[in-house]
Amino acid sequence: MDYEMGSWYLVHHPGSGFRNGLVAAFSAGDQRATLDGARLTVRPVGGPAERRDLESPAAVRAALEDVFGIDTSAVAGLEGRIAQAHFS
């Protein structure tokens, strides 16, 4: 299987979800968190998954900062881009 070609497609094709949306994942000792657009899912080891639909671009940005530990302060226009991709 040619993984290089598939990876190129995911990064470069205009219809790719990686170009048109927000995806993040993080694992730490006792849990895994994923963010797909405005849906935040936290899966603790041995427990049920907790899913939340975040209600605003500010809430998505806060999840990136607080849950995933990503400093978004240098990303100009982030909330506007999140709004356009996931709240319009």
- 4-34 exposure pattern, b = at least 16 Cβ within 10 A, e = fewer: eeeeeeeeeeeeeeeeeebeeeeeeeeeebb
Fold of the domain built from segment(s) 19-86: Arylamine N-acetyltransferase fold (3.30.2140)
Cα angle value 58/50/71 (rounded, 5°):
35
Torsion of CA 58, 62, 65, 67, to 10 degrees: -140
Per-residue pLDDT of the chain (88 residues; tens, 9 = 90+): 567 777 787 778 887 777 778 999 999 889 999 999 999 999 999 999 999 999 999 999 999 999 999 999 999 999 999 999 999 8
Q: Kindly list the domain boundaries of the chain, sorted by start residue.
A: 19-86
- pTM, full prediction: 0.82
